[in-house]
Chain A
Amino acid sequence: MQTVKIKLMASMRAMTLAAVLLGGAAGVGVLTPQTAHAQVKSVADVKTMLKPELPAGALEITAAMKSAKVGETITVRGNVAMSKDAFVENRAMFTLVDESTRKGCCPPSEKLPDTACDIPAEGRATIQIVGANGKPLRAGLNGEHGLKPGAEVFVTGKVESANGADALVLTAVSMHVPKAPLPSGLFVEKQPENAKDVSEVRKSGALKVGDEIVLRGRVGGSKEPFVAGRAVLTLIGRGLKACNENPDDKCAKPWDYCCETKEDILANSVTVQVVDAKGQIVRTDLKGRRGLKELSEVVVVAKVASADGKGVVVNATAVHPVQ
């Protein structure tokens, strides 16, 4: 009887201890803060730096070259250099270039040149990914996580070195690698001439497939006028007022033109897409590029892809965001 009692007591003690430990463990689990950013220790960890969203307000490398100050965090956009030396061997470093500064044509050969010599120094930036010791990881990045010669990359990072002219080194904090690059030269600095308002063009009803047109309009027409991950947006003409242009309107998303009828929105809008050589929509975002956002004024040079039914779709060949 005594033995049974002792065993009973021991088991009850154990149960109480287990319960206290379980409760404590649960409490600790809830209270322990999660690490905000995982430490990059290897090339595999670089994946944690890749962001699915395209960062807004990225600077072209030539613009960043002039304005960057050591120590500040900036976002730049560029393409990995089309050369054999684009990636440093056994070091997590690569050269990002501004393709618009290229002086010569691409080499006719499929082989990469040894250096990106036809890109001037003011169009080149060096990107590095550092480990806990503050030094670049001891592994190459070529072919890792979509990074390859020619790949378009958005890098947010700390400026390590900058002279305002021809040297820029960034330590990457995060990166966005679009699944496909936009055609080179799609965004133009000079506003195309003879642009017609989207509403005017739609009202004329004269659009035919294959027509070359220059359109001017604002990004909008729905709650999501951009498509995430695809180079598509909808432009709407001045024939309609955005909701925020109506007095006393408190619409949270004025670019959806919810104060207009669906028929009017359709009759005053066009869908703009950017397609690749195969005619497929390019797998990248337009939102955030060159400051593009909802209600941005844009001039587009395009070819009409479809104009049957109530909708019009155009393939953009040049895009100029009006500042």
Chain B
Amino acid sequence: MRLLPFDYAVRNLGRSPSRLFLSVAGAAMVVLLILVAGGFVRGMSQALRATGGEHNVILMGAGSEESVERSEIPAATPGVLAASVQGIRTRAGVAYVSPEVHVMLPVTVGTGGMAKPRQVMLRGVSPAAALVHESVSLTEGRWPVAGGGADEVIVGRMAGTVLGVAESDVQVGRAITIDGRPWTIVGRFSAPGTVVEAEVWLPLADAMTATKRDTISCVVVTLDPYNEATGEGAEFADVAAFTKTRPDLELVPMTEREYYGKLASFFGPIKVVAWVTAGLIAVGGLFGGLNTMYAAFASRIRELGTLQAIGYRRLAIVWSMIQESTLATAAGGLIACAVGVFLLDGVAVRFSMGAFGLKIDEAVIGLGLLTGLALGVVGALPPAIRCLKPTIPVALKAV
């Protein structure tokens, strides 16, 4: 089969610059939307997945497996656990056992209390939290000190996003109001790619006092990987066995990754809605593209008839039309990908667990480019078939 020259498809694109612009811009918008949806889903999933430490086990109250915020366990649990389970990681004699209080409370920036409060995840921690949460590092200031009348907190890198204020409002030395009580920011921390970055951390004792509780939410413990040869270290099963031998503590163990994995599945419907919305708009964009391409091809019915008359087969003409359409949509897709990579990647999004950054990675870009190509192929076929339907004599007489 003799194909039409590639130049024919390219030159046809230049016949109507305004139509070309519409095709490229339309495809770019659709692909951009796919990128946003993909970046949203990937960002949320990865942030939740990355939040759990590889060797971390979280122990919470039985029946509270869905949310650590609802969990209450005896404050003595960390000590009993550390004494009972062999193989917990230690450094300089300090066990990687972090008792924590997790609570969502209304927080405002400043001490005036005029601004509308936002729900922020607060984590009451001891210094051991810095051991078990390896992704967390203090980037500015110092660790908060408990008691003494000075209420101190440290805030994550994304705290500004969660609170809906500029980064300058949550710098070291500024104040925030938690549940009507002022606290001073004494440090800032980062935990790249995790939802922890959107949290506010405060000393465990202060958190227990502020929330009027004598229990903690959970214990996070880091295990040394079990060594078959030496018999040293521990596995998740050792912690699970501990919870069975201390039924009075009413504990449920879970690997931290499993816990955040379950949270990720809890947000599954939101991801589905994101994809469905993007899909529906993509379909709308496709119909727009179909209209544009139909208009482009319909005005050339006589020309298409001439091409058939001089010996080009219909399939060759359809192939050329697909080339023409795909070039326009692929260009739109590339533009959208550039916008996605340079402007959207990492943009903070607030959600109930805190905040995460849009993730425009290779997979999302690949999906965007494929969508652009698919728009070109699918958008060209129906109008091409319709315009090639008339017989050659009818096509040659077309106005």
Contact = CB atoms under 8 A, between A and B. Distances in A.
Nearest to B241: A230
Interface in A217-274: 221-222, 224, 227-230, 232-234, 262, 266, 269, 271, 273
Interface stretch (B245-253, B259-267, B274-282): B245-253
Contact of B235 (A9, A22, A229, A269): A229
Interface stretch (A12-20, A58-66, A92-100, A182-190): A12-20
A23 interface: yes
Interface of B: 6-7, 10, 62, 228, 235-238, 240-241, 244-248, 250, 323, 326-327, 330, 366, 369-370, 373
Nearest to A234: B244
B369 to A, nearest CB: 7
Given A19-B373, A23-B373, A271 B245 contact: yes
Interface in A86-107: none
B323 A16 contact: yes
A311 B248 CA distance: 6
Contacts of B247: 221, 234, 266, 269, 271, 310-311
Contacts of A16: 6, 323, 326-327, 330
A19 B330 contact: yes
Interface in A10-33: 12-13, 15-16, 19-20, 22-23, 26
B244 A232 contact: yes
B241 A227 contact: yes
A296 interface: no
B6 A13 contact: yes
Nearest to B372: A19
Given A9-B10, A309-B248, A22 B62 contact: no
A23 B370 contact: yes
Given A222-B62, A310-B248, A227 B240 contact: yes
A311 B245 contact: yes
B369 A19 contact: yes
Given A16-B323, A26-B366, A232 B245 contact: yes
5 contacts: A26-B370, A227-B240, A228-B240, A230-B238, A262-B62
For the residues of B in contact with A, the DSSP-based class is helix
Given A26-B370, A222-B62, A262-B250, A227 B237 contact: yes
A313 B240 CA distance: 14
A273 B240 CA distance: 12
Nearest to A15: B330
A230 B248 contact: no
Closest 7 CB pairs of A and B: A229-B237, A310-B248, A311-B247, A230-B241, A227-B240, A230-B237, A311-B248
Given A234-B247, A310-B248, 12 more contacts: A9-B7, A16-B6, A16-B323, A19-B326, A26-B366, A227-B240, A227-B244, A228-B237, A229-B240, A232-B244, A232-B245, A262-B250
Given A13-B6, A230-B237, A306 B250 contact: no
B370 A306 contact: no
A156 B241 CA distance: 28
B10 to A, nearest CB: 6
**Most chain B beta-carbon neighbours within 10 Å: one of A9, A19, A228, A233:** A19
Contacts of B373: 19-20, 23
A230 B240 contact: yes
B248 A266 contact: yes
A283 interface: yes
Given A19-B373, A266-B248, A12 B327 contact: yes
Given A19-B373, A23-B370, A222-B62, A313 B245 contact: yes
A269 B248 CA distance: 11
Nearest to A266: B247
Nearest to A226: B244
Contacts of B246: 309, 311
A148 B163 CA distance: 60
A281 interface: yes
B373 to A, nearest CB: 6
Contacts of B250: 262, 266
A306 B235 contact: no
Nearest to A229: B237
A9 B245 contact: no
B369 A12 contact: no
A283 B237 contact: yes
Given A19-B373, A234-B247, A269-B247, A12 B6 contact: yes
A225 to B, nearest CB: 8
Contacts of A271: 244-245, 247
A251 to B, nearest CB: 14
| Residue of A23, A179, A227, A281 ringed by the most chain B CB atoms within 10 A | A227
A283 B237 CA distance: 8
A187 to B, nearest CB: 20
A229 B244 CA distance: 13
A273 B245 CA distance: 8
B10 A12 contact: yes
Nearest to A280: B86
A179 B231 CA distance: 11
B233 to A, nearest CB: 12
A22 B369 contact: yes
Contacts of A234: 244, 247
A317 to B, nearest CB: 17
Contacts of A227: 237, 240-241, 244
A311 B369 CA distance: 60
A131 B326 CA distance: 49
Nearest to B6: A13
Given A9-B10, A311-B246, A311-B248, A273 B241 contact: yes
A257 to B, nearest CB: 12
Contacts of B228: 179
Nearest to A222: B62
B293 to A, nearest CB: 17
Nearest to A310: B248
B6 A9 contact: yes
A5 B228 CA distance: 67
Contacts of B6: 9, 12-13, 16
